[in-house]
Structure 1
Amino acid sequence: MKDQNALAEGVVGHTPLFVVLVLAVIVGWAVWWVVRYLRADAMTRQSIRQAVRVRWGWKRLAPMLKLSVTDKTPTALATLANTNGKPIKPRILIPALRVTHDAYGVIARARCLPGVGLQQFQKAAPHLADAWRCTRVAVTQDKPGQVLIRGVRLDPLKFPTEHRPTGDVPDETARWDLGVDEYAQPVSVDLTQVPGVTVAGLPGFGKTSLVNRLLSDWAPSPAVQFACADGKVSAAYEGDYADWVQRMFAFVGDDLEEANKLFRHLVELRRARSASVRSVLGVKSMWDVGPSDRWPLVVLIIDEAHTYFRDHKGSDPKTKKLAALAAENARLVEDLVKKGRSVGLLVILTTQKSTGDAIPTFIRDVCPVGLSFAQKTAEAAVAALGEEIREWPDANPINLQDPTYVGVASMNHQSQPGFTRIRTPYVPDADAARIAEQTASLTAGPYTLLEAVLGPRMGELDLVKADSESA
């Protein structure tokens, strides 16, 4: 009895200390929450308040939207506690919801219940948008038994963004970070095993800026080498790529004959790589081992591609020569796109309208990745993205002609059906110039690198090439 009294006195004696600790934790959490709220910008503060409303209102909202289930089977504890023999009331089960926020809105994760899964949440998405005061809500599978609900209060597509390249070597050589989608989620495209990319859109809506980001992010890697044919300029010191020329092993302007020499050189590189890939890398495809300093991924950028492929009409000698060069340019680029994938050649073609007269269909239709900024006609949108874009009117690039959407493109996303719109960031010229200067020493000619690896065996490849051409 004395021991019990002593224990009781000890508990009572420590109760104030326990209460003080609990209060200290609560006060500390409250101070942390207030400080975080005060330090946030105005947009994030609105999202914080929105997230609080979502949490507090969830238990009431979920049953209204049929996102709850009735469990009529009593639990073991309820059965034991039922001493009066009255029927046990069924339980209403509501999916557990965890909510976070960012500047654009809220991100919620909900656990699924029997009969309340991905399909039911997607059906309720428009009503969630109304209840949460969001512009739009998207529901996707987060992991088995859990859904991800993304609600945006503000349209991310209407807010211009900037990208400041770090100059660090990318973790994945062929990963192209594009920007954010209409739910402010990062969008990237994997260009592994991709032979070609087409980028279309009206002038001044972001095509060159999109390519500029790729250059800024990939240039620090010695496993990537660049060449460019820019149909907007006549000399290397002109135009959008003037700073990048020092990081390119080859550059040509709008001269069709010079472009023809570049394309022919790259076809010769493709043939030499195809003939030597097994002996040098020990595999059939370069992508089985990945790009390296001695066997880099070669990226050919053809800006304003219609300059090099346009069909020239006329019977005078000069026009006939241009027509012949344009036809051969198309044939050479077709070779690169159709045969260069396994040996590490990637072609990026940009143009205003990717119709057949700008990019021949035998080139355009084998490029698996296509993006389009604003377009004026349905014909141009279909040429850029395919017939399926007619079934996705919200993502059609003819709706992007407003100046607000400069830098916004539509694309067929690799990881989900249909089309999505993305906000691509602007890379300041000073940052691009900085990265180009810092990485200029990494520039190397891929053909020269192959010669260094093969040594005397390079002559054998030339003989093989000559025999195949004569045959």
Structure 2
Amino acid sequence: AMAGILRDSGLARSCFQAARIRRRWPRVAQNLGLVLVDRTATTAASGKAPVPKPKYVVPRMRVRADSYGVVCTARTVEGVGLEEFQKTSRHLSDDWKAVRVAVTQVKPGKIRIRAVRIDPLSFPSTYDPDPATLPVLKNLDSLQVGMDEYAENVNLRLSNVAGICICGLPGSGKTSFINNMLVRLAPHPAVQFIGLDGKTDDPTTQGDYADVADRFTLLVGDDLEQANKVLAELVEFRRARNASIRTLLGRKNFWHGQATPDWPLVIVIIDEAHTYFAQVKDGGDKALKAKNALAAQNVQHVEDLIKKGRSVGILTILATQKGTGDAIPTQIRDVCSVSLAFACRTIDAAVAALGDDIRQYPESSPVALQDPVYVGVATMAVQGRPGFTRVRMPFVPDDTAAAVATHHRGLVLSRGQLPAASLLAIAQED
């Protein structure tokens, strides 16, 4: 065991930190007022007998070390609970030599204190699974996407999500995050992918999704007319699902049961989404007018998919460099259930991506993620947590992503295997 500790210098340092915390805890707890002062003996004293000193009851605490720091579990005592521990978190951070301390309540009577000795966000991580042994997710309700600033796993909710909006500067990690999602979901036979990549005209051989094209049912590029045709077919597909879901699934909401290969979760990925929505000054030019008309139709189609596709198992993911209304129209952006923001240059861009509440959490603002060390780190609201959480998303090597997509390409559905499969017919024709 000692050899294992010595091989992991981070864990070794954390073990020394844990030992110091255990040794000093009774004294630190008393100095910070995290103790119960039992004065019952003093009240009982009478006459000339000496008054007994009050008894201090220190909360019992267990300390566990890991590579990033320690996890402490403390039992509450009368008058010392979650609020009292939270008020002293900054002092605990100083005494424990920790860069950050978080205090949460596990259950009534038990407090959890996470103290990190080093910042997990500043260390790039890699997700490099073996395609042959990559596990199939037990359910699609949520997906593990990364690690927060306390080195805790973070899940992204998928269940009953209308849309996901991903914003951030070029090279900040947006496409890498989508590839990470794709690789984790690729082994599931009840997941199909439709892609629109606004960065290239031939996404099957160029661009960010060429390596994983084998796992896509349909993948198109920046051609506005072709994209418009696909989005229109997706809307028809959505209508067909709405009309048949009660008959074929026996329920009105896809998420109230398990996804199956016969009725899979369809994930529509629209990267560089502003490519398909942008309006330009036409100056009377007929060709530009026609493009603007297609872009306006695209906005209507995507709005339809996000507002009405959730209950029938269609999840739309939008990625763009900024979440302002000129990039993603507000009628689309504002109905996305989940938003993530990688590095942003201005607070206005952060507010557009995450909402005005981000102003109240400057320590979590994506504006502070512009340093190259934070490439791959995003700010998001995590279900069940207050405020915003910064999350380190792992990088998936291109070779690994390609191998996973190729290994699982047999799961891509062919024509006629979905209700109203006109979309897949287009894929076959192309």
Instruction: State the 1:121 CA deviation.
Output: 0.3
Which SS does the other structure have where 2:327 is aligned? Answer: coil
1:120 pairs with one of 74, 84, 96: 84
Question: Distance in 1 between the 2:418 and 2:158 partners?
Answer: 23
Which SS does the other structure have where 2:417 is aligned? Answer: helix
Question: Distance in 1 between the 2:194 and 2:391 partners?
Answer: 26
Instruction: State the 1:312 CA deviation.
Output: 2.1
Work out whether residues 262 and 417 of structure 2, in 8 Å CA contact, stay in contact via their aligned partners in 1. Answer: no
Question: Distance in 2 between the 1:53 and 1:208 partners?
Answer: 43
Instruction: State the 1:177 CA deviation.
Output: 1.5
1:188 pairs with one of 155, 162, 172: 155
1:250 pairs with one of 218, 221, 239: 218
Question: What is the Cα-based RMSD across aligned positions, in Å?
Answer: 1.9
Instruction: State the 1:124 CA deviation.
Output: 0.5
Work out whether residues 269 and 447 of structure 1, in 8 Å CA contact, stay in contact via their aligned partners in 2. Answer: no
Instruction: State the 1:58 CA deviation.
Output: 0.5
Q: How does 1:231-250 map to 2 (within 5 A)?
A: 231-235=198-202, 236-250=204-218
Which SS does the other structure have where 2:13 is aligned? Answer: helix
1:71 pairs with one of 11, 15, 38: 38
Q: How does 1:271-286 map to 2 (within 5 A)?
A: 271-286=239-254
1:101 pairs with one of 46, 65, 71: 65
Amino acid at match of 1:61: V
1:375 pairs with one of 344, 361, 374: 344
Q: How does 1:74-93 map to 2 (within 5 A)?
A: 89-93=53-57
Which SS does the other structure have where 1:137 is aligned? Answer: strand
Work out whether residues 323 and 353 of structure 2, in 8 Å CA contact, stay in contact via their aligned partners in 1. Answer: yes
Work out whether residues 270 and 340 of structure 1, in 8 Å CA contact, stay in contact via their aligned partners in 2. Answer: yes
Matched residue, 1:306: 274
1:316 pairs with one of 285, 310, 316: 285
Equivalences, count = 413
Instruction: State the 1:89 CA deviation.
Output: 4.7
Matched residue, 1:169: 136
Amino acid at match of 2:85: F
Question: Distance in 1 between the 2:415 and 2:180 partners?
Answer: 22
Amino acid at match of 2:246: R
Higher helix share: 1
Q: 1:447 to 1:316 in 2, by over 3 A?
A: farther
Question: Distance in 1 between the 2:345 and 2:100 partners?
Answer: 26
Greater shift, 209-218 or 158-167, is seen at 158-167
Provide, for residues 88-117 of structure 1, a one-character-per-residue CA deviation record: whole Å limited to 9, x for no partner: 554210001100111111110000111000
TM-score by length of 1: 0.85
Question: Distance in 1 between the 2:264 and 2:226 partners?
Answer: 24
Greater shift, 366-375 or 161-170, is seen at 161-170
Question: Distance in 1 between the 2:159 and 2:258 partners?
Answer: 9
Q: Kindly indicate whether residue 311 of structure 2 is the aligned counterpart of residue 342 of structure 1.
A: yes
Question: Distance in 2 between the 1:451 and 1:342 partners?
Answer: 17
Q: Which runs of 4+ in 1 moved over 3 A?
A: 85-90, 445-448
Instruction: State the 1:323 CA deviation.
Output: 0.2
Question: Distance in 2 between the 1:445 and 1:151 partners?
Answer: 51
Instruction: State the 1:379 CA deviation.
Output: 1.4
Question: Distance in 1 between the 2:358 and 2:275 partners?
Answer: 26
Matched residue, 2:108: 144
Which SS does the other structure have where 2:319 is aligned? Answer: strand
Instruction: State the 1:431 CA deviation.
Output: 1.0
Question: Distance in 2 between the 1:430 and 1:101 partners?
Answer: 34
Amino acid at match of 2:413: A
Question: Distance in 2 between the 1:193 and 1:432 partners?
Answer: 27
Which SS does the other structure have where 1:422 is aligned? Answer: strand
Which SS does the other structure have where 1:450 is aligned? Answer: coil
Which SS does the other structure have where 1:278 is aligned? Answer: helix
Question: Distance in 1 between the 2:66 and 2:26 partners?
Answer: 23
Instruction: State the 1:402 CA deviation.
Output: 0.8
Question: Distance in 1 between the 2:298 and 2:5 partners?
Answer: 59
Matched residue, 1:18: none
Which SS does the other structure have where 1:243 is aligned? Answer: coil
Instruction: State the 1:135 CA deviation.
Output: 0.5
Provide, for residues 67-102 of structure 1, a one-character-per-residue CA deviation record: whole Å limited to 9, x for no partner: 00122346xxxx9xxxxx876554210001100111
Structure with the greater relative contact order (CA < 8 A, sep ≥ 6): 1 or 2? 2
- Structure 1's unaligned 5+ residue stretches are 1-31, 80-84, 453-471
Instruction: State the 1:171 CA deviation.
Output: 2.1
Q: How does 1:377-396 map to 2 (within 5 A)?
A: 377-396=346-365
Which SS does the other structure have where 1:430 is aligned? Answer: helix
Matched residue, 1:54: 21
Provide, for residues 444-464 of structure 1, a one-character-per-residue CA deviation record: whole Å limited to 9, x for no partner: 158632259xxxxxxxxxxxx
Work out whether residues 299 and 329 of structure 2, in 8 Å CA contact, stay in contact via their aligned partners in 1. Answer: yes
Q: 1:213 to 1:270 in 2, by over 3 A?
A: same
Amino acid at match of 1:162: T
Paired-residue identity, %: 50
Question: Distance in 2 between the 1:445 and 1:382 partners?
Answer: 42
Q: How does 1:287-302 map to 2 (within 5 A)?
A: 287-302=255-270
Amino acid at match of 1:138: A
Q: How does 1:19-34 map to 2 (within 5 A)?
A: 32=1, 34=2
Q: Which has the larger radius of gyration?
A: 1
Matched residue, 2:399: 430
Question: Distance in 1 between the 2:5 and 2:287 partners?
Answer: 69
Question: Distance in 2 between the 1:288 and 1:411 partners?
Answer: 26
Q: Kindly indicate whether residue 3 of structure 2 is the aligned counterpart of residue 43 of structure 1.
A: no
Q: Kindly indicate whether residue 153 of structure 2 is the aligned counterpart of residue 153 of structure 1.
A: no
Q: How does 1:382-421 map to 2 (within 5 A)?
A: 382-421=351-390
Work out whether residues 240 and 420 of structure 2, in 8 Å CA contact, stay in contact via their aligned partners in 1. Answer: no
Provide, for residues 114-167 of structure 1, a one-character-per-residue CA deviation record: whole Å limited to 9, x for no partner: 100000000010000000001111101111110110001111111000012352
